[in-house]
Amino acid sequence: MSRMIFNKLVLQGVTYKRTIKFNKDLTIISGDKTSGKSLILSLIDYCLGKSKKIDLKVQKELSENCDQIFLELTIDNETLTIKRLLKEKQNKMSVYFCAFDELDGYTQKTVDKDELMQFLMRKLNINEYKLVKHQKHSTMQELETVSFRDIFRYVYIHQHELGTHDFLSNKTTYKRYKNPHAFKLMFDLIEPDKDNLKQQLVNAKNKIEQANKEVVGLKSYLRDKDAEDYTVLWNKQGEYIADIDQRKKEKASIIQNSKSNKNNENEMYVALKKELTEIANQMSEFERQRNDYLLSVNSKKLLKQEYKYERAETDATLEINYKLIIPEQNIECPLCNSTVPHRSHDQQGVSSINTLNKIKNDLTSKIKLVTSMIENDNSIIDQLNTKILRLKKKQKILNNAVAEFTKETEVPFLSQIDSINSIVNKLSREQEIIKECLRIHHKVVEKEKLIAELEAEVKRLEGELEKLKVSETYKKVVFDYLNKQYKSYMSRFKYDSSFETYIDSDTYIPYYLGSSVYDHESGGLLLCMQLSYLSAILSSKSEAYASGHPGILMLDSLSKYLGTLKKQGPTEESIEKIDVSEKDLIHDPEVYEEIYKIIIELSANHQIIIVENTPPSLVDSYTKYTFLSGERGLVNLSANEYIELN
């Protein structure tokens, strides 16, 4: 039962940063209108692949101060961070396999929306599901995927949907028709298509094979760099950081003690130091190029081994073809009954051998080409090594010259500073190499996790192939539970659930008194039906039914259609005087508080994020942020973490 938990949302620009943290149970975000409360939920949605971009003409404070958004989340004890830009390349998202505070040590994985949906579905252990639909203005058919975005409509209900007929984007045709399929996907009610499952199985196995090859290549690179031990690298990095900090402190001390000295350094000394800096930069660039070519050589060696393996298989097939003898057969003419010799197998055999020989020749050519490319790369590596060696010799000569020159200078503290700078630069370059190796270690772990996920997917798909029809018994158990919960919640909201109040097992939408959530007109009733429906789905996950639901809920503005101020009720005497029956008393304030009691109950096992102007006092302990309109909203310059850091 995979679960998703949002840890934090980070708004970041060149000079601005603000982190919004979420509780693992219930988080209430309150405040004025137009203060940015709802924007938090929109930005979470945006990071999870929402197609519509954030309107920066409306969100002016966000536009002026931020250019990227980070969402840190946890899925089954694995922490991930998703980054999405606000002003450019909005169709691409970056996934980091770490917490936000550790981004510097990891390499990002850049994906488009479809790739992100596949990634999240795999992380949540949900099978991909495709629908057959007619193309627009055509009789032709096409396949469309039911994705994480369709399931997420059951997670995030924004204020324009809650209590309206646009619940679950019902007014958008291309979304509405996918809702029943998303519901079935959440509750494992899909009847799998055998061919589709086989295709998914093949794709998953191919991805495992590809990921294994990438892991071999990355480990080979680490072996060449003598960087296979992660612990040793981590300790070295700590030593470099400590050494660099110590050198910087020494430099600061020298500068502080030498402020009264006069800088009389001549042009020759400046020229020598400038040339040394250029040499150091050139060496760093040549070393980077050499490392790239080493990685390229390792990849080509793997490819060459695959070609050799294929050629060996082709040779074995050729040998079998030469030894295989097919007996001659005679064919009798149906008109004259004469016998006609039939020798087509000879031609077929020759054709088969010719094809195999052609394949073998192609593989031989490819092997020669890859060998030539490897030799060329090795030649370039040798040239780079020669250049690096020459630069090192030149660097040594110049360092000796600088050492002699500084003996005569009247400002020895400058030579000390230059020396410290050189050491810090060298240590920084070596530290960067260590960091790059650590990033590759993290990439190996990422690939190994991917392989484990794909292997789990293969196992799941193989299980689906054995079970090609959904059990009607299971479906009945699911809806018995959902209806029991739905009726219970409706009763708590002061609605009679004894007559035709249920979740339909064909359309998968809630009904009250025989009419669906899209037929009733009262906003308060619609709100209660929708919340009862969503709460029943969420609670069913605790009973191991809604395995495809992320186990999280985000709601915006619950108080729109309910009176939220609880007043002292009329006394029995006043009721008798005005002849008002108990059923005519207004229950809205009590219902509003009951909604929050249910939300608190659900949050014991699920994360829930609520945006509300003035939530009731019973959730004061869950109110994480209170925004005010104007400068003290979500984008609050006084809460800029960069300023606090400085």
Q: Which of the two residues, 437 and 44, has the higher pLDDT score?
A: 44
The pair of structure tokens assigned to 172 is: 């958008």
**Digit-coded pLDDT (tens) for 460-473:** 777 766 665 567 78
**Digit-coded pLDDT (tens) for 54-77:** 999 999 999 999 999 999 999 998
Same domain as 287, residue 417: yes
The continuous run of DSSP H or E covering 252 comes out as helix 230-257
**Digit-coded pLDDT (tens) for 272-306:** 777 888 888 888 888 888 888 888 888 888 888 88
- Name the pLDDT band for 43 (thresholds 50, 70, 90): very high
363 C-beta neighbours (distance < 10 Å), count: 20
What's the pLDDT at 414?
61
Residue 601 has pLDDT above 70, yes or no: yes
What's the pLDDT at 44?
97
Report, as an integer, the average pLDDT of 202-230. 82
User: Does the residue 374 lie in any domain?
Assistant: yes
Q: 3-state SS of 259-322?
A: CCCCCCCCHHHHHHHHHHHHHHHHHHHHHHHHHHHHHHHHHHHHHHHHHHHHHHHHHHHHHHHH
User: Does the residue 334 lie in any domain?
Assistant: yes
What's the pLDDT at 462?
76
What's the pLDDT at 579?
44
How far is 74 from 77, CA to CA, in rounded Å? Answer: 6
- Name the pLDDT band for 430 (thresholds 50, 70, 90): confident
Residue 412 has pLDDT above 80, yes or no: no
Q: 3-state SS of 555-577?
A: EECCCCCCCCCCCCCCCHHHHHH
Same domain as 229, residue 93: no
What's the pLDDT at 209?
84
Q: Of 447, 466, 485, at which residue does a domain stop?
A: 466
Q: Which of 140-149, 486-495, 564-573, 577-586 has the lowest mean pLDDT?
A: 577-586
The pair of structure tokens assigned to 554 is: 């985000």
User: Does the residue 112 lie in any domain?
Assistant: yes
Give the number of domains in the chain. 2
Q: Of 122, 44, 57, 118, which Cα lies nearest the Cα of 84?
A: 44
Assign residue 119 the CATH number of its domain: 3.40.50
- Give the rounded percent of residues in the chain with a pLDDT score beyond 70: 82
Q: Which of the two residues, 190 and 611, has the higher pLDDT score?
A: 611
What's the pLDDT at 132?
67
Q: Of 426, 448, 466, at which residue does a domain stop?
A: 466
Q: Which of the two residues, 598 and 330, has the higher pLDDT score?
A: 598
- Name the pLDDT band for 565 (thresholds 50, 70, 90): low
**Digit-coded pLDDT (tens) for 120-156:** 998 998 877 777 676 666 666 677 889 999 999 999 9
**Digit-coded pLDDT (tens) for 612-643:** 988 999 999 999 999 988 888 999 999 999 87
User: Does the residue 222 lie in any domain?
Assistant: yes
Provide the domain limits for residue 389: 207-260+267-466
What's the pLDDT at 98?
93
Q: Which residues of 285-312 are buried (b: 16+ CB within 10 A; e: fewer)?
A: ebeebbbebbbebbbbeeebeebeebbe
Same domain as 211, residue 118: no
- Name the pLDDT band for 335 (thresholds 50, 70, 90): low
- Name the pLDDT band for 580 (thresholds 50, 70, 90): very low
Residue 41 has pLDDT above 80, yes or no: yes
**Digit-coded pLDDT (tens) for 503-514:** 999 999 999 999
- Name the pLDDT band for 341 (thresholds 50, 70, 90): low
How far is 181 from 189, CA to CA, in rounded Å? Answer: 9
Q: Which of the two residues, 382 and 582, has the higher pLDDT score?
A: 382
The pair of structure tokens assigned to 148 is: 């994480």
Same domain as 432, residue 285: yes
User: Does the residue 341 lie in any domain?
Assistant: yes
Q: Which of 22-36, 214-228, 340-354, 569-583 has the lowest mean pLDDT?
A: 569-583
User: Does the residue 292 lie in any domain?
Assistant: yes
Contact between 49 and 116 under an 8 Å Cβ cutoff? The reply is yes
What's the pLDDT at 583?
40
What's the pLDDT at 297?
86
- Name the pLDDT band for 320 (thresholds 50, 70, 90): confident
Q: Which of 232-246, 250-264, 391-405 has the highest mean pLDDT?
A: 232-246
What's the pLDDT at 121?
92
Same domain as 402, residue 254: yes
Residues in the chain: 646
Residue for token digits 């695959």? 306
Same domain as 223, residue 114: no
> How far does the chain reach from its first CA to its final CA, in angstroms?
44
Strand runs labelled E in 333-440: 339-342
Angle 416-421-424 (CA atoms, 0-180°, nearest 5)?
125
Q: Which of 105-109, 357-361, 417-421, 502-506 has the lowest mean pLDDT?
A: 417-421
User: Does the residue 213 lie in any domain?
Assistant: yes
Handedness of CA 630, 634, 635, 640 (dihedral sign): positive
User: Does the residue 508 lie in any domain?
Assistant: no
Q: Of 466, 487, 505, at which residue does a domain stop?
A: 466
What's the pLDDT at 492?
94
Same domain as 432, residue 334: yes
Residue for token digits 């020159």? 405
The continuous run of DSSP H or E covering 596 comes out as helix 588-602
Same domain as 211, residue 71: no
Strand order of the β-sheet with 26-31 is 156-157, 552-556, 607-611, 26-31, 623-627
What's the pLDDT at 575?
41
Contact between 71 and 6 under an 8 Å Cβ cutoff? The reply is yes
Assign residue 316 the CATH number of its domain: 1.10.287
What's the pLDDT at 577?
45
- Name the pLDDT band for 229 (thresholds 50, 70, 90): confident
Mean pLDDT in the chain?
A: 83
Same domain as 219, residue 115: no
